[in-house]
């Protein structure tokens, strides 16, 4: 048997041999479950996105919706969704991207910095600090949103109260409408209303602890003799960080940053419950807009198309970031 023929034979045997059949048998139940709970709904949603599916089509046995090809996609991209004020797809997308990037960058920097601080061996009670700082993560999201919405309340919020104390004004002397002011605090960057900063503060409070946990894990896996080697070579703290700490952190932090990006990009509850997408839809995210299309407008077809668009955007972004950062490559590559 020639070498190519032998290779083909081995490949076929691997694919159709007894071992492969056994492996497939083991996988089959999982595939069947996934087919029902994952693939079928996904495909159904894609099908819905090409129809004018409405709530009247929900009923079993009702007439099928009309096939409208790319009608829903055109409506989404040309801002032609009747009945929704302040809808502007490109503005929502731009805000959504800025929201996700800004959060992830701050989470990452803050998470790593605090992990480095708490990794100091001479620090007392560091195990207690590490336990405390993950507390925000275990609080139910709806509670977080409700508490922070109250903190930023215009008339009774703790934040305005604090500002009044700091600026030596009487209680109620500071009356900033953090969540509803339609103005532009950064005049040259009108994408961001004041409520963006309220959302950002909340999500930073929520987001850095897990970044710190991941960074702490990575820091503790770095062999100490590498640092000693740098010291022998005369390197200082910055050199140690640049040459050893940073390369060892990368394989842990970059995949987590990409994961964090996807999570933050689709972070429903802060935008929905803290600002209700306001003022005037300026803190609306794609995911909250999709929800409103279904829940408030009952435009199932348009919402399905919206979700497909979101999926494509996230897929492209993930592939690009993965490529640029080599997030899934190990540090020995």
Partner 1 sequence: MKSFTRFGLVAAVVVLTASACSSSAASPAGAGMSGSLTIWTAYGSGGSAEGTAMDAVIAKAKTAFPSLTIDRVEIPFSDLFTKVETAWAAGGKTPDMYIAPNDSLGNEMRMGILYGPLDDKLGSSASSFTDISIAGSKVDGKMYEIPESMKAVSMFYNKSIVATPPATTDDLLALAKAGTKVGIAEYAANYYNWWVYNAFAGGPIMDATGKCVASTNGSSDGLAYMKALKDTGNVTFYTDGPTFQGDFKTGKLGIVIEGPWGTGDFKTALAANLAIAPIPAGPKGKGLPLSAPDGWYINANATQAQKDLAVQFALWEVSAAGGEQIFADQAGHLPAVKDATVTDTISKGFLTQMTDSYPRPQNKQLGAYWSNFTNAFDSVLLKGTDPVQATKDACDAMNKANNL
Note the residues at the interface with partner 1 (CB under 8 A).
Answer: 55-56, 58-62, 82-86, 149, 153-156, 177, 179-182, 278-280, 295-298
Q: Choose between 111 and 278: whose C-beta lies nearer to partner 1.
A: 278
**Calpha distance 321→246 (Å, rounded):** 18
Q: Is the separation of the CB atoms in 237 and 251 below 8 Å?
A: no
Give ∠ CA 135-253-284 in degrees, rounded to 5: 65
Burial class (CB in 10 A: 0-12, 13-18, 19+), 248: middle
Tell me how far, at minimum, the Cβ of 78 lies from partner 1, in Å.
14
Tell me how far, at minimum, the Cβ of 270 lies from partner 1, in Å.
16
Q: Is the separation of the CB atoms in 74 and 80 below 8 Å?
A: yes
Q: Is the separation of the CB atoms in 85 and 281 below 8 Å?
A: yes
**Calpha distance 110→117 (Å, rounded):** 11
Torsion of CA 319, 321, 324, 329, to 10 degrees: -80
**Calpha distance 119→215 (Å, rounded):** 10
Q: Choose between 62 and 127: whose C-beta lies nearer to partner 1.
A: 62
Tell me how far, at minimum, the Cβ of 313 lies from partner 1, in Å.
24
Tell me how far, at minimum, the Cβ of 84 lies from partner 1, in Å.
6
Q: Choose between 16 and 44: whose C-beta lies nearer to partner 1.
A: 44
Backbone angles phi and psi of 51, in degrees to 5: -125, 170
Q: Choose between 16 and 280: whose C-beta lies nearer to partner 1.
A: 280
Tell me how far, at minimum, the Cβ of 264 lies from partner 1, in Å.
24
The tokens describing 232, both together, are 């022998």
Tell me how far, at minimum, the Cβ of 87 lies from partner 1, in Å.
10
Q: Choose between 264 and 288: whose C-beta lies nearer to partner 1.
A: 288
The tokens describing 175, both together, are 């009356």
Q: Choose between 25 and 82: whose C-beta lies nearer to partner 1.
A: 82
Tell me how far, at minimum, the Cβ of 182 lies from partner 1, in Å.
5
Tell me how far, at minimum, the Cβ of 180 lies from partner 1, in Å.
6
Burial class (CB in 10 A: 0-12, 13-18, 19+), 307: buried
Q: Choose between 214 and 299: whose C-beta lies nearer to partner 1.
A: 299
H helices of 78-185, in order, are 89-118, 126-132, 135-138, 141-151, 158-166
Q: Choose between 178 and 256: whose C-beta lies nearer to partner 1.
A: 178
Minimal CA–CA distance to 313: which of 77, 128, 56, 102?
77
């Amino acid at each position: 048997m020639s070498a190519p023929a032998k290779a083909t034979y081995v490949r076929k045997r691997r694919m159709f041999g007894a071992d492969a059949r056994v492996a497939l048998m083991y996988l089959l139940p999982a595939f069947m479950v996934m087919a029902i709970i994952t693939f079928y709904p996904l495909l159904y949603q894609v099908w819905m996105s090409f129809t004018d599916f409405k709530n009247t089509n929900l009923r079993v046995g009702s007439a099928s919706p009309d096939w409208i090809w790319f009608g829903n996609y055109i409506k989404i991209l040309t801002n032609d969704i009747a009945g929704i004020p302040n809808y502007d797809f490109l503005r929502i997308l731009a805000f959504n991207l800025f929201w996700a990037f800004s959060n992830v960058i701050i989470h990452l920097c803050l998470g790593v910095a605090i992990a480095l601080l708490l990794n100091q061996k001479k620090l007392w009670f560091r195990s207690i600090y590490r336990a405390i700082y993950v507390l925000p993560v275990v609080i139910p999201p709806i509670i977080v949103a409700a508490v922070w919405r109250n903190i930023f309340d215009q008339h009774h919020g703790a934040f305005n109260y604090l500002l009044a104390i700091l600026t030596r004004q009487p209680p109620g002397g500071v009356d900033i409408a953090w969540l509803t002011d339609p103005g532009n605090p950064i005049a040259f960057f009108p994408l961001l209303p004041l409520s963006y900063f309220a959302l950002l503060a909340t999500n930073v409070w929520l987001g850095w602890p897990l970044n710190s946990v991941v960074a702490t894990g990575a820091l503790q896996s770095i062999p100490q003799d590498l640092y000693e080697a740098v010291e022998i070579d005369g390197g200082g703290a910055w050199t140690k960080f640049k040459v050893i700490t940073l390369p060892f952190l990368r394989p842990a932090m970059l995949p987590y940053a990409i994961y964090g990006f996807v999570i933050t990009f689709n972070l429903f509850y802060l935008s929905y419950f803290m600002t209700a997408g306001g003022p005037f839809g300026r803190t609306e995210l794609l995911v909250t807009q999709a929800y409103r299309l279904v829940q408030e407008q009952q435009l199932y077809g348009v919402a399905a198309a919206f979700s497909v668009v979101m999926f494509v955007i996230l897929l492209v972004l993930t592939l690009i970031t993965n490529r640029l950062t080599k997030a899934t490559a190990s540090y020995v590559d």
